[in-house]
Structure 1
Amino acid sequence: MSHYFSPGAYLPHDAPMLLLETVLSVTEEQAVCQVVVNRRGVLAPFLDANGNLPGWYAMELMAQTVGVWSGWHRQQRGEAQISLGMVLGARELKCANGELAAESQLDITVTLLMQDERFGSFECAITAGGETLASGRVNTFQPSQEELTTLFQQGASS
């Protein structure tokens, strides 16, 4: 049994946009989360007719695992509030088969490459049964509360 909370305890996401099922580990420089591609789990609304998850979801799985890493570290520092982060982009993002196969148990691993107060870069991989299915580098940004307020106010007035 994991001594971690569910991914939702670390992320500002709710169903159906919470795409992770389990937090396996979090360290200073790495997080590993897991999800199963099947019609009984959290990915069910996003599966194609064959039960596969389209490859473009790989980036969101990686980003949410980065969010778990960040959220866990915030909790360790005693910061109770979950914070919204943003993906600036991805580099060399590849999904070998263009999809993540039905009934696969996916392990999503993110490894910190660099971080300052507001920016982070993570090397990411999605594996199943020891085979790498997707990989890439995800770059993130942590906006201030004022920036978030401005962003959402402008979005509401558009």
Structure 2
Amino acid sequence: MIPWPLAELLPHAGEMILIDQVDSCDDEQIHTRTLVRPGGLFNRADGSLPAWLGIELMAQSVAAFAGCRARRNGQPVALGFLLGTRKYQCDVEHFALGAELHVHATRSLEDDNGMGVFECHLRGPGIHASARLNVFTPPQPTRYLAEAGPEDPSHD
């Protein structure tokens, strides 16, 4: 268990925080979990969650990994971006209401420019999903967002 609330580790708020708890986190990996509850932003009519949401659960676990590292080092939590995923495979079409889902993300590559790759696995009752996530944490997120905005066509 970690000493910080999830809201202090993720650059998300309210209902957009989809993971419930960080079970463990070290310099190379994180273990998180969540319980599929009814009434969330992404629930289907039967209360289940679509399987594609596994990518977001993995991405939030990676964000929590970065948040834990920042807190351990006395730094603020930084904004990061999911650039993409490779080989997302899931053996179910949805995560059933009441299922407890466990995510394990392991850092496989990270450079000084903020690029990272994580191997992720999501497991639950009769569930296994896996993916490789490519992420980016810019050194100066506010400046990066200002530079990355769409160009104003009136300035042509």
| Contact 1:125/1:136, CA 8 A, preserved across alignment | yes
2:55 to 48, 55, 59: 59
Kindly tell me the number of residue pairs found equivalent between the two proteins.
Answer: 150
1:55 to partner: Cα distance: 1.1
2:121 to 101, 106, 125: 125
Structure 2 unaligned runs (5+)?
none
Partner of 2:99: 104
Q: Secondary structure at the match of 1:123?
A: strand
Q: Secondary structure at the match of 1:70?
A: helix
| Contact 2:10/2:77, CA 8 A, preserved across alignment | yes
1:132 to partner: Cα distance: 4.3
| Contact 1:31/1:65, CA 8 A, preserved across alignment | yes
How many Å separate the matches in 2 of 1:123 and 1:142?
A: 17
1:14 to partner: Cα distance: 0.2
- Letter in structure 2 aligned against 1:15: G
How many Å separate the matches in 1 of 2:152 and 2:59?
A: 28
**Does residue 116 in structure 1 map to residue 115 in structure 2?**
no
Deviations 1:95-145 (A, max 9, x none): 21121111100111101111112111111011114x542111101011232
| Contact 1:4/1:24, CA 8 A, preserved across alignment | no
- TM-score normalised by the chain length of structure 2: 0.88
1:72 to partner: Cα distance: 0.6
- TM-score normalised by the chain length of structure 1: 0.87
1:48 to partner: Cα distance: 0.4
Structure 1 unaligned runs (5+)?
none
| Contact 1:90/1:136, CA 8 A, preserved across alignment | yes
**Does residue 150 in structure 1 map to residue 114 in structure 2?**
no
What's the C-alpha RMSD, in Å, of the aligned pairs?
1.8
Greater alpha carbon shift after TM alignment, 95-104 vs 59-68? 95-104
Identical counterparts, % of pairs: 31
- Letter in structure 2 aligned against 1:150: E
Moved over 3 A (4+): 155-158
Q: Secondary structure at the match of 1:127?
A: strand
| Contact 2:79/2:137, CA 8 A, preserved across alignment | yes
Q: Label 1:51 to 1:142 Cα distance change in 2 as closer, same or farther (>3 A).
A: same
